[in-house]
Amino acid sequence: MNHSVIDMRELGDNVNRYGPTAARPFPETKKRLDTRTIDIHAHVAIPAAAEYAAPHGNPNDIAMVRHTNDETKKINMIQEKDRFIAITDFDDRLRVLDAMGIDFQLVAPPPMQCYYHLPLGHAIKASRMVNDGLAEFVARQPDRLAALGTVPLQDGKEAAAELSRCVTELGMKGVQVLTNVNGSELSDAEYEPFWKRAEELGALVMLHPNGFTHGDRFHDYNFSNVIGNPLETTIALHHIIFSGMLERMPNLKILAVHGGGYLPAYSGRIDHAWGARKDSRANLPKPPTYYLRKIYFDSVIFTPHQLEYLVKLYGADKIMMGTDYPYDMADYDPVELIVSSNLSPEEKVKVAGGTAAKLLGL
Protein backbone atom coordinates (compact mmCIF):
# COMPACT_ATOMS: atom_id res chain seq x y z
CA MET A 1 0.00 0.00 0.00
CA ASN A 2 1.20 3.54 -0.76
CA HIS A 3 1.36 5.43 2.54
CA SER A 4 2.66 8.61 0.93
CA VAL A 5 0.61 11.80 0.84
CA ILE A 6 2.03 12.76 -2.56
CA ASP A 7 2.35 10.96 -5.88
CA MET A 8 5.94 9.71 -5.82
CA ARG A 9 5.83 9.23 -9.60
CA GLU A 10 5.80 13.00 -10.03
CA LEU A 11 9.34 13.12 -8.68
CA GLY A 12 10.81 10.79 -11.29
CA ASP A 13 14.43 10.02 -10.42
CA ASN A 14 14.58 12.84 -7.87
CA VAL A 15 17.13 12.21 -5.13
CA ASN A 16 14.68 13.11 -2.34
CA ARG A 17 11.82 10.95 -1.11
CA TYR A 18 8.87 12.25 0.85
CA GLY A 19 6.85 9.33 2.10
CA PRO A 20 6.93 6.19 4.23
CA THR A 21 10.01 5.85 6.40
CA ALA A 22 12.43 2.99 5.82
CA ALA A 23 12.83 2.72 9.60
CA ARG A 24 9.72 0.56 10.08
CA PRO A 25 7.49 -1.76 8.03
CA PHE A 26 3.99 -0.66 7.07
CA PRO A 27 0.80 -2.73 7.17
CA GLU A 28 -1.22 -3.45 4.05
CA THR A 29 -4.21 -1.60 5.47
CA LYS A 30 -3.85 1.87 6.92
CA LYS A 31 -5.46 2.15 10.35
CA ARG A 32 -6.69 5.24 12.13
CA LEU A 33 -7.53 6.14 15.71
CA ASP A 34 -11.01 7.04 16.87
CA THR A 35 -9.80 10.17 18.63
CA ARG A 36 -8.75 13.71 17.83
CA THR A 37 -5.26 13.73 16.34
CA ILE A 38 -2.89 16.68 16.74
CA ASP A 39 0.46 17.18 15.02
CA ILE A 40 2.62 19.24 17.39
CA HIS A 41 5.61 19.69 15.04
CA ALA A 42 5.27 20.95 11.47
CA HIS A 43 6.51 23.90 9.44
CA VAL A 44 5.13 26.73 7.31
CA ALA A 45 7.44 29.19 5.56
CA ILE A 46 6.82 32.86 4.83
CA PRO A 47 8.54 33.67 1.51
CA ALA A 48 8.31 37.46 1.92
CA ALA A 49 10.38 37.28 5.11
CA ALA A 50 12.98 35.06 3.43
CA GLU A 51 13.23 37.53 0.55
CA TYR A 52 13.70 40.41 2.97
CA ALA A 53 16.33 38.58 5.04
CA ALA A 54 18.45 37.26 2.17
CA PRO A 55 20.62 40.36 1.54
CA HIS A 56 21.25 41.00 5.23
CA GLY A 57 22.94 37.78 6.37
CA ASN A 58 25.47 35.15 5.34
CA PRO A 59 23.98 31.62 5.14
CA ASN A 60 27.40 30.18 6.01
CA ASP A 61 26.90 31.58 9.50
CA ILE A 62 24.24 28.87 9.93
CA ALA A 63 25.63 25.54 11.16
CA MET A 64 23.37 23.46 8.92
CA VAL A 65 24.81 25.24 5.88
CA ARG A 66 28.39 25.54 7.06
CA HIS A 67 28.88 21.89 7.98
CA THR A 68 27.55 20.17 4.85
CA ASN A 69 29.33 19.08 1.70
CA ASP A 70 28.43 20.12 -1.84
CA GLU A 71 26.30 17.02 -2.47
CA THR A 72 24.13 17.69 0.57
CA LYS A 73 23.84 21.39 -0.27
CA LYS A 74 22.64 20.43 -3.76
CA ILE A 75 20.08 17.98 -2.41
CA ASN A 76 18.83 20.55 0.10
CA MET A 77 18.37 23.05 -2.73
CA ILE A 78 16.37 20.47 -4.66
CA GLN A 79 14.26 19.86 -1.58
CA GLU A 80 13.62 23.59 -1.17
CA LYS A 81 12.22 23.63 -4.71
CA ASP A 82 10.32 20.33 -4.30
CA ARG A 83 8.57 21.40 -1.14
CA PHE A 84 7.85 25.06 -1.83
CA ILE A 85 4.12 24.45 -2.32
CA ALA A 86 4.03 22.02 0.60
CA ILE A 87 5.56 24.52 3.01
CA THR A 88 3.71 27.65 1.82
CA ASP A 89 0.32 26.75 0.34
CA PHE A 90 -2.75 26.77 2.58
CA ASP A 91 -5.03 24.55 0.48
CA ASP A 92 -2.29 21.98 -0.01
CA ARG A 93 -1.73 21.87 3.75
CA LEU A 94 -5.37 21.04 4.46
CA ARG A 95 -5.29 18.33 1.80
CA VAL A 96 -2.24 16.76 3.39
CA LEU A 97 -3.73 16.91 6.89
CA ASP A 98 -6.76 15.01 5.62
CA ALA A 99 -4.57 12.46 3.84
CA MET A 100 -2.50 11.92 6.99
CA GLY A 101 -5.54 11.61 9.23
CA ILE A 102 -4.52 14.68 11.25
CA ASP A 103 -7.30 16.82 12.70
CA PHE A 104 -5.20 19.73 13.97
CA GLN A 105 -1.66 20.94 13.37
CA LEU A 106 0.62 23.31 15.25
CA VAL A 107 2.90 25.00 12.72
CA ALA A 108 6.19 26.80 13.26
CA PRO A 109 8.56 28.50 10.82
CA PRO A 110 11.30 26.36 9.27
CA PRO A 111 14.48 26.67 11.35
CA MET A 112 16.06 28.72 8.55
CA GLN A 113 13.50 31.41 9.41
CA CYS A 114 14.87 31.83 12.91
CA TYR A 115 17.05 34.77 11.96
CA TYR A 116 19.75 34.75 14.63
CA HIS A 117 22.47 35.25 12.00
CA LEU A 118 21.11 38.66 10.97
CA PRO A 119 22.01 42.01 12.54
CA LEU A 120 19.51 42.69 15.32
CA GLY A 121 17.47 45.34 13.53
CA HIS A 122 16.95 43.16 10.49
CA ALA A 123 16.27 40.12 12.69
CA ILE A 124 13.51 42.00 14.51
CA LYS A 125 11.85 43.03 11.24
CA ALA A 126 12.21 39.59 9.63
CA SER A 127 10.84 37.88 12.74
CA ARG A 128 7.81 40.15 12.77
CA MET A 129 7.21 39.41 9.09
CA VAL A 130 7.34 35.67 9.78
CA ASN A 131 4.97 35.97 12.71
CA ASP A 132 2.47 38.16 10.90
CA GLY A 133 2.50 35.72 7.98
CA LEU A 134 1.98 32.69 10.20
CA ALA A 135 -0.85 34.40 12.04
CA GLU A 136 -2.60 35.11 8.74
CA PHE A 137 -2.04 31.52 7.58
CA VAL A 138 -3.62 29.83 10.60
CA ALA A 139 -6.42 32.40 10.91
CA ARG A 140 -7.91 30.99 7.70
CA GLN A 141 -8.78 27.73 9.48
CA PRO A 142 -8.42 28.10 13.27
CA ASP A 143 -10.22 24.83 13.94
CA ARG A 144 -7.41 22.99 12.10
CA LEU A 145 -4.32 25.15 12.65
CA ALA A 146 -2.44 27.14 15.28
CA ALA A 147 1.04 28.65 15.24
CA LEU A 148 4.29 29.04 17.08
CA GLY A 149 6.21 32.18 16.14
CA THR A 150 9.87 33.11 16.10
CA VAL A 151 11.82 35.72 18.08
CA PRO A 152 15.10 37.64 17.63
CA LEU A 153 16.77 35.69 20.41
CA GLN A 154 20.16 37.36 19.93
CA ASP A 155 18.69 39.96 22.29
CA GLY A 156 16.81 38.57 25.30
CA LYS A 157 14.69 41.67 25.88
CA GLU A 158 13.71 42.02 22.23
CA ALA A 159 12.88 38.32 22.16
CA ALA A 160 10.66 38.73 25.22
CA ALA A 161 8.86 41.64 23.57
CA GLU A 162 8.20 39.72 20.35
CA LEU A 163 7.09 36.67 22.33
CA SER A 164 4.56 38.87 24.11
CA ARG A 165 3.29 40.17 20.77
CA CYS A 166 3.00 36.64 19.38
CA VAL A 167 0.89 35.44 22.29
CA THR A 168 -1.14 38.49 23.32
CA GLU A 169 -1.71 40.14 19.92
CA LEU A 170 -1.39 37.38 17.33
CA GLY A 171 -2.99 34.60 19.37
CA MET A 172 -0.09 32.18 19.04
CA LYS A 173 0.54 29.30 21.42
CA GLY A 174 4.19 30.25 21.92
CA VAL A 175 7.36 30.30 19.85
CA GLN A 176 10.05 28.11 18.36
CA VAL A 177 13.68 28.77 19.26
CA LEU A 178 16.85 27.17 17.95
CA THR A 179 19.00 25.08 20.28
CA ASN A 180 21.71 27.75 20.52
CA VAL A 181 22.08 31.41 19.60
CA ASN A 182 25.08 31.73 17.30
CA GLY A 183 26.99 29.34 19.57
CA SER A 184 25.71 30.73 22.89
CA GLU A 185 23.68 28.50 25.18
CA LEU A 186 19.97 29.11 25.70
CA SER A 187 20.61 29.07 29.44
CA ASP A 188 23.00 32.07 29.32
CA ALA A 189 21.98 34.98 31.53
CA GLU A 190 21.39 37.33 28.59
CA TYR A 191 18.36 35.26 27.51
CA GLU A 192 16.75 35.17 30.97
CA PRO A 193 14.22 37.95 30.11
CA PHE A 194 12.86 35.77 27.32
CA TRP A 195 12.50 32.69 29.51
CA LYS A 196 10.90 34.63 32.34
CA ARG A 197 8.35 36.10 29.96
CA ALA A 198 7.62 32.65 28.52
CA GLU A 199 6.86 31.35 32.01
CA GLU A 200 4.70 34.36 32.84
CA LEU A 201 2.65 33.91 29.67
CA GLY A 202 2.40 30.13 29.98
CA ALA A 203 3.73 30.02 26.41
CA LEU A 204 5.06 26.87 24.81
CA VAL A 205 8.70 27.08 23.70
CA MET A 206 9.69 24.50 21.10
CA LEU A 207 13.42 23.72 20.83
CA HIS A 208 14.40 23.01 17.23
CA PRO A 209 17.98 22.37 16.01
CA ASN A 210 19.47 23.63 12.76
CA GLY A 211 22.74 21.74 12.44
CA PHE A 212 25.52 21.20 14.97
CA THR A 213 27.71 24.19 15.78
CA HIS A 214 30.98 22.20 15.89
CA GLY A 215 30.17 19.87 13.02
CA ASP A 216 33.57 19.46 11.37
CA ARG A 217 33.07 15.69 11.35
CA PHE A 218 29.50 15.92 10.01
CA HIS A 219 30.05 17.18 6.46
CA ASP A 220 29.27 13.89 4.71
CA TYR A 221 26.10 11.78 4.43
CA ASN A 222 23.84 14.61 5.69
CA PHE A 223 25.27 13.92 9.17
CA SER A 224 24.80 17.59 10.06
CA ASN A 225 21.10 16.70 10.14
CA VAL A 226 21.11 12.97 10.88
CA ILE A 227 23.50 13.18 13.86
CA GLY A 228 23.92 16.90 14.38
CA ASN A 229 20.29 17.86 14.90
CA PRO A 230 19.52 15.38 17.70
CA LEU A 231 22.94 16.07 19.23
CA GLU A 232 22.21 19.81 19.29
CA THR A 233 18.97 19.18 21.16
CA THR A 234 20.80 16.86 23.54
CA ILE A 235 23.36 19.53 24.41
CA ALA A 236 20.73 22.26 24.75
CA LEU A 237 18.73 20.15 27.20
CA HIS A 238 21.83 19.43 29.28
CA HIS A 239 22.53 23.15 29.61
CA ILE A 240 18.91 23.98 30.41
CA ILE A 241 18.84 21.35 33.15
CA PHE A 242 22.28 21.80 34.71
CA SER A 243 22.05 25.61 34.66
CA GLY A 244 19.17 25.41 37.11
CA MET A 245 16.77 27.10 34.70
CA LEU A 246 13.97 24.67 35.48
CA GLU A 247 14.60 25.03 39.21
CA ARG A 248 14.29 28.82 38.95
CA MET A 249 11.39 28.72 36.48
CA PRO A 250 9.56 25.47 37.24
CA ASN A 251 6.49 26.30 35.17
CA LEU A 252 8.24 26.67 31.82
CA LYS A 253 6.62 24.68 29.02
CA ILE A 254 9.38 23.31 26.78
CA LEU A 255 8.99 20.90 23.86
CA ALA A 256 12.12 19.16 22.56
CA VAL A 257 11.57 17.85 19.03
CA HIS A 258 12.85 14.63 17.46
CA GLY A 259 12.06 12.81 20.68
CA GLY A 260 14.34 15.13 22.63
CA GLY A 261 17.50 14.02 20.85
CA TYR A 262 19.67 11.44 22.58
CA LEU A 263 19.31 12.46 26.22
CA PRO A 264 15.97 10.74 26.96
CA ALA A 265 17.46 7.40 25.92
CA TYR A 266 20.58 7.73 28.11
CA SER A 267 19.37 9.78 31.03
CA GLY A 268 20.94 7.60 33.72
CA ARG A 269 24.33 9.12 32.96
CA ILE A 270 23.31 12.61 34.08
CA ASP A 271 21.99 11.35 37.41
CA HIS A 272 25.14 9.30 37.93
CA ALA A 273 27.35 12.33 37.25
CA TRP A 274 25.23 14.50 39.56
CA GLY A 275 25.75 12.01 42.37
CA ALA A 276 29.40 11.21 41.67
CA ARG A 277 31.07 14.56 41.01
CA LYS A 278 30.95 17.97 42.62
CA ASP A 279 31.49 19.76 39.30
CA SER A 280 28.47 17.94 37.84
CA ARG A 281 26.19 18.63 40.77
CA ALA A 282 25.63 22.22 39.59
CA ASN A 283 23.86 23.19 42.82
CA LEU A 284 20.79 21.25 41.68
CA PRO A 285 18.78 20.15 44.74
CA LYS A 286 17.25 17.24 42.82
CA PRO A 287 18.67 14.73 40.33
CA PRO A 288 18.81 16.04 36.74
CA THR A 289 16.18 13.59 35.50
CA TYR A 290 13.67 15.27 37.82
CA TYR A 291 13.94 18.32 35.56
CA LEU A 292 14.13 16.25 32.37
CA ARG A 293 10.69 14.88 33.19
CA LYS A 294 9.33 18.41 32.97
CA ILE A 295 10.14 18.49 29.24
CA TYR A 296 7.70 17.47 26.50
CA PHE A 297 8.90 15.34 23.56
CA ASP A 298 7.45 14.71 20.12
CA SER A 299 7.12 11.35 18.36
CA VAL A 300 9.44 12.02 15.40
CA ILE A 301 11.59 8.99 16.24
CA PHE A 302 10.29 6.65 13.49
CA THR A 303 10.04 3.32 15.34
CA PRO A 304 7.31 1.97 17.65
CA HIS A 305 9.78 0.56 20.19
CA GLN A 306 11.38 3.98 20.67
CA LEU A 307 7.94 5.54 21.14
CA GLU A 308 7.09 2.87 23.70
CA TYR A 309 10.37 3.57 25.50
CA LEU A 310 9.68 7.31 25.74
CA VAL A 311 6.18 6.70 27.06
CA LYS A 312 7.42 4.13 29.58
CA LEU A 313 10.06 6.48 31.01
CA TYR A 314 8.35 9.87 30.76
CA GLY A 315 4.65 9.06 30.49
CA ALA A 316 2.07 9.64 27.78
CA ASP A 317 1.38 13.02 29.39
CA LYS A 318 4.76 14.20 28.05
CA ILE A 319 4.82 12.66 24.55
CA MET A 320 2.98 14.18 21.59
CA MET A 321 2.55 13.18 17.98
CA GLY A 322 4.68 15.11 15.48
CA THR A 323 5.63 14.94 11.82
CA ASP A 324 8.31 17.56 10.98
CA TYR A 325 6.32 18.01 7.78
CA PRO A 326 7.10 18.71 4.95
CA TYR A 327 10.76 17.66 4.88
CA ASP A 328 12.36 14.40 3.75
CA MET A 329 13.27 13.66 7.39
CA ALA A 330 9.60 13.85 8.39
CA ASP A 331 7.27 11.03 9.45
CA TYR A 332 4.56 10.93 6.80
CA ASP A 333 2.29 8.56 8.70
CA PRO A 334 2.55 9.49 12.39
CA VAL A 335 -0.82 8.00 13.24
CA GLU A 336 0.32 4.59 11.98
CA LEU A 337 3.37 4.83 14.25
CA ILE A 338 1.08 5.14 17.26
CA VAL A 339 -1.37 2.50 16.06
CA SER A 340 1.41 -0.04 15.43
CA SER A 341 2.92 0.42 18.89
CA ASN A 342 2.15 -1.64 21.98
CA LEU A 343 0.93 1.38 23.94
CA SER A 344 -2.31 0.98 25.84
CA PRO A 345 -5.48 2.44 24.27
CA GLU A 346 -5.38 5.26 26.83
CA GLU A 347 -1.74 6.03 26.06
CA LYS A 348 -2.42 6.07 22.31
CA VAL A 349 -5.21 8.61 22.79
CA LYS A 350 -2.91 10.86 24.82
CA VAL A 351 0.03 10.68 22.41
CA ALA A 352 -2.17 11.11 19.34
CA GLY A 353 -3.71 14.32 20.59
CA GLY A 354 -4.90 14.31 24.17
CA THR A 355 -1.66 15.57 25.68
CA ALA A 356 -1.27 18.27 23.03
CA ALA A 357 -4.87 19.42 23.44
CA LYS A 358 -4.34 19.85 27.17
CA LEU A 359 -1.00 21.63 26.74
CA LEU A 360 -2.32 24.01 24.07
CA GLY A 361 -5.66 24.63 25.73
CA LEU A 362 -7.63 23.33 22.75
Q: 209-267 pLDDT, tens per residue? A: 987 888 788 888 989 889 989 999 999 999 999 999 999 999 999 999 999 999 999 99
Predicted pLDDT at 57? 80
Predicted pLDDT at 1? 35
Cis-peptide into 326, omega within 30 deg: yes
Confidence of residue 3 (pLDDT cuts 50, 70, 90): very low
pLDDT at residue 12 above 80?
no
Q: Which tops the pLDDT comparison, 65 or 54?
A: 54
pLDDT at residue 67 above 50?
yes
CB neighbours of 316 closer than 8 A, spacing ≥ 6? 343, 346, 347, 350, 351, 354, 355
Q: Which tops the pLDDT comparison, 105 or 220?
A: 105
Give the max Cα distance, the chain. 59
pLDDT at residue 8 above 60?
no
pLDDT at residue 119 above 60?
yes
Q: Which tops the pLDDT comparison, 121 or 7?
A: 121
21-41 pLDDT, tens per residue?
Answer: 889 988 777 777 889 999 999
Of 53-57, 59-63, 140-144, 326-330, least confident by mean pLDDT is 59-63
CATH number among 3.40.50.150, 3.20.20.70, 3.20.20.140, 3.90.1150.10, domain 36-360:
3.20.20.140
Of 133-142, 214-223, 330-339, least confident by mean pLDDT is 214-223
pLDDT at residue 71 above 90?
no
Predicted pLDDT at 176? 99
Confidence of residue 2 (pLDDT cuts 50, 70, 90): very low
Burial (CB count <10 Å: 0-12, 13-18, 19+), residue 92: middle
Mean local confidence (pLDDT), 282-288: 95
* Average pLDDT in the chain: 93
Burial (CB count <10 Å: 0-12, 13-18, 19+), residue 101: middle
Mean local confidence (pLDDT), 162-188: 97
Distance CA 176, CA 107 (A): 10
Predicted pLDDT at 322? 98
DSSP 300-341: TT--HHHHHHHHHHH-TTSEE----BTSTTS-S-HHHHHHTS
Q: In the chain, where are the structural domains located?
A: 36-360
235-250 pLDDT, tens per residue?
Answer: 999 999 999 999 999 9
pLDDT at residue 275 above 50?
yes
